[in-house]
Amino acid sequence: MTAAVARRSDLRFRIGLNLRSIVGRAYPRVIGANREPSWIFFEAVLPLLSIAAYVFIYRTIALNQVAANPVDAPRILANMNALVASVVLGGAMVAFWLNVLWSMASQLYWEKEIGNLQLYMMAPMNRMALLGGMAVGGMFMTSVRAVSTLVAGVVVFGVVFQVANPLMLLAVFFVTLVALYGLGMFFASLYLLWGREAWNLSALMEEPIFFSSGFYFPLGGLYQSGGWGSAVAVLGSIIPAGLGLDALRQLTLGETAFGGKFWVLSAPVELEILVVLAVGFLILARYALAYLETLAKREGKLTSRHQ
Amino acid sequence: MSTYWRTFKTAAWLGWQMDSNWTEPWLFVIYSIVKPVAGAFILIFMYVVIWSINGIPDPHSFAFLYIGNAFFIFVGSTLLGTFQVIQSDREWYQTIRYVYISPISYYVYILGRAFSKIVVSVFAVLITLAFGVFLLGSYGVQMQLSLDRLPLFFVSLALGLFVLLAIGITLGAATFLMARHSQTLAEAVPGVFYVFCGVLFPLTILPSWGQAIGEAIPLTYWFEITRRILLPFQLNTGLAGFDDLEILAFLLVSTVIFFGLSIGVFKLGEYLARRAGKIDMTTSY
């Protein structure tokens, strides 16, 4: 065994190499973002307006309902606050989902287009470390938007969150993120094989997922609609954001919000499912990446651009 | 003029090919319809949830937002169509240098590329409207379009689409100078119009400064007149003091202003990008 081979098979060296790869891949996202200040405006400020639109829909209808039945005003306004808070939480989650779609899933496809992928493939680190670095950098970039959405929710829209179990809340949030980015890694491997379908698939997974995962309304409403609505909700729950949002809403609005009738499952059960999804997606991503890399090489698509 | 027309036609054909030839036609049709219909379903379930929780229907508000959302499909697709041209040519296909130095108007080229998206979105709007009228009647979605109102409808539609293109190019000029965030821009900028143009709710729900912003944006008048033509009832949108022709005149004047603005801003963005050497830059982080 040569010294170089022995060094490469040394566990400490491999762990260090992959950790450096994670930092190295996260670095340009964090630093690149800082070098492009316009990004803050476009990522953090403008998206708030779409969220505001959904907030105003609930406000408009709730105020009309109060006008129709003034006696019931306190209950209607309390429900309105809960729905507005749901939109704000959903808006924060939208930031992560868009990041998963555009900066995780389609990233390897993008790297292929601009000619970086072959360099990554030649580098000695594990591909999962590369994706992990993209995820860490992406989470940082996206947190700015998510935090600004939450702050705007509280300051501008007067949303009141009641957090009774902060540890559980943090656990749900981080497990949801891990599951989401695990799904992103899995998609990234699929996109290695695809050409322009990748871009279009990402575009297709915006509004349909916002709908089926209940980003702007309680997912339980879709579950309870019966028939195709329930089927769509079950499919939407495969995306970790669906159950993650449902649990986050329970933990920040209280289980009695919306009369307690629009929750899918209890928060602890949803956390358990999210853990299973997170582990499952990461394992799936690991094997899919290895398999699809081989397949892409075999079919000559690994570095073929503009298809 | 013939050069402009030839550029427009060729760019529109190129845009159509780039949008659609990645898959089978039937899959492209489904793809083009699923996104806007899913967007409509978000609003439907928002309404269903608040109705169900509070037990009080509000069909007029729902019809108002449904029609507004259907026509907003034009806004999203036209803006995306204009925003993404510069960045996709520059960063993705890396062909901007060849197109840019060719003896055509790059402005007209962008118009042509965006036009193909408008054509596709016509079908999405029609399907969304038909879905609402035929399947959501019990929720309050109703529509009327008498023959004598047809000319007004088509004139306002043409002006609305033209002003959208002008706004898109005005803002798209900024992408000459930006890193590859046009996707975010295309997602974020429609949010401005979503909130301030009375698309989903009457302007009167906004604070007075928000209403003032809305009244300065031409799209507000386009949505107002479109709903006046199509809905059998009117909500108080704060523009009740103006008749249809006055609203149309506002739309016409603002269209002309934005067209001039789009040319000026486009030339400025182009000049600054050339001076900074950014015309064919790539940003890969």
Q: Six-digit token pair at A198?
A: 């990748």
User: Is residue A307's pLDDT more than 60?
Assistant: no
Residue A116 confidence class, pLDDT cut points 50, 70, 90: confident
The predicted complex's ipTM stands at: 0.86
Residues 6+ apart with CB under 8 A from B283: A32, A36, B91, B179, B180
B65 close contact with A: CB closer than 8 A: yes
Convert the pLDDT of each residue in A52-82 to its tens digit: 899 999 999 999 999 998 998 999 999 899 9
What is this structure's pTM? 0.86
The predicted structure's pLDDT at residue B284: 60
d(C-alpha A145, C-alpha A123), whole Å: 32
Q: Are B14 and B110 a contacting pair, CB within 8 Å?
A: no
B14 close contact with A: CB closer than 8 A: no
User: Is residue A279's pLDDT more than 90?
Assistant: yes
Mean pLDDT per 10-residue section of chain B, whose length is 285 residues: 88 88 80 86 92 90 93 88 84 84 90 89 90 87 86 94 91 79 68 88 91 91 93 84 90 92 91 86 67
Where are the alpha helices (H) located in B173-231, listed in sequence order? 182-196, 208-216, 218-230
Count the Cβ atoms, other than its own, within 10 Å of residue B101: 10
Contacts of B62 in chain A (CB under 8 A): 61
Q: Give the phi and the psi of residue B275 in degrees, each rounded to 5.
A: -65, -35
The predicted structure's pLDDT at residue B263: 92
Convert the pLDDT of each residue in A184-233 to its tens digit: 888 888 877 776 677 788 888 888 999 999 999 999 888 888 788 888 88
SS3 for chain A is: CCHHHHHHCCHHHHHHHHHHHHHHHHHHHHHHHHHCCHHHHHHHHCHHHHHHHHHHHHHHHHHHHHHHCHHHHHHHHHHHHHHHHHHHHHHHHHHHHHHHHHHHHCHHHHHHHHCCHHHHHHCCCCHHHHHHHHHHHHHHHHHHHHHHHHHHHHHCCCCCCCCCCHHHHHHHHHHHHHHHHHHHHHHHHHHHHCCHHHHHHHHHCCHHHHHHCCCCCCHHHHHCCCCHHHHHHHHHHHCHHHHHHHHHHHHHHCCCHHHHCCCCCCHHHHHHHHHHHHHHHHHHHHHHHHHHHHHHHHCCCCCCCCC
Nearest to A207 among B35, B47, B282 (CB): B35
Q: Are A42 and B184 a contacting pair, CB within 8 Å?
A: yes
d(C-alpha B70, C-alpha B77), whole Å: 12
Contacts of B283 in chain A (CB under 8 A): 32, 36
Q: Do A114 and B36 touch (CB under 8 A)?
A: no
A283 close contact with B: CB closer than 8 A: no
User: Is residue A1's pLDDT more than 90?
Assistant: no
Q: Are B68 and B40 a contacting pair, CB within 8 Å?
A: no
Count the Cβ atoms, other than its own, within 10 Å of residue B130: 12
The predicted structure's pLDDT at residue B156: 94
% of chain A residues with pLDDT over 70: 93
The predicted structure's pLDDT at residue A306: 58
% of chain A residues with pLDDT over 90: 29
For residue B239, the 8-state DSSP code is: -
For residue B147, the 8-state DSSP code is: G
User: Is residue A120's pLDDT more than 60?
Assistant: yes
Q: Do A204 and B31 touch (CB under 8 A)?
A: yes
The predicted structure's pLDDT at residue B248: 93
Contacts of A114 in chain B (CB under 8 A): 91, 282, 284
Separation in Å, CA of A63 to nearest CA in chain B: 9
d(C-alpha B1, C-alpha B12), whole Å: 16
Backbone region of residue B207 per phi and psi (left: phi > 0; alpha: psi in -120 to 50; beta: other values): beta
The predicted structure's pLDDT at residue B187: 67
A207 close contact with B: CB closer than 8 A: yes
d(C-alpha A142, C-alpha B195), whole Å: 23
**Domain limits, chain B:** 2-275
Residue of A133, A132, A136, A111 whose CA lies nearest to A122: A111
> Exposed/middle/buried for A122, CB within 10 Å: 0-12, 13-18, 19+?
exposed
Q: Do A61 and B61 touch (CB under 8 A)?
A: yes
Residue type present at position B222: W
How confident is the prediction for chain A on average, in pLDDT? Answer: 85
Closest Cα in chain A to B69: A53
A36 close contact with B: CB closer than 8 A: yes
The predicted structure's pLDDT at residue B66: 93
d(C-alpha B21, C-alpha B12), whole Å: 14
d(C-alpha A37, C-alpha A51), whole Å: 22
Collapsing DSSP states into helix, strand and coil, what is residue B21?
A: coil
A216 close contact with B: CB closer than 8 A: yes
Collapsing DSSP states into helix, strand and coil, what is residue B179?
A: coil
d(C-alpha B108, C-alpha B88), whole Å: 17
Q: Are B61 and B201 a contacting pair, CB within 8 Å?
A: yes
Convert the pLDDT of each residue in A246-261 to its tens digit: 999 999 988 888 878 8
Residues 6+ apart with CB under 8 A from A235: A212
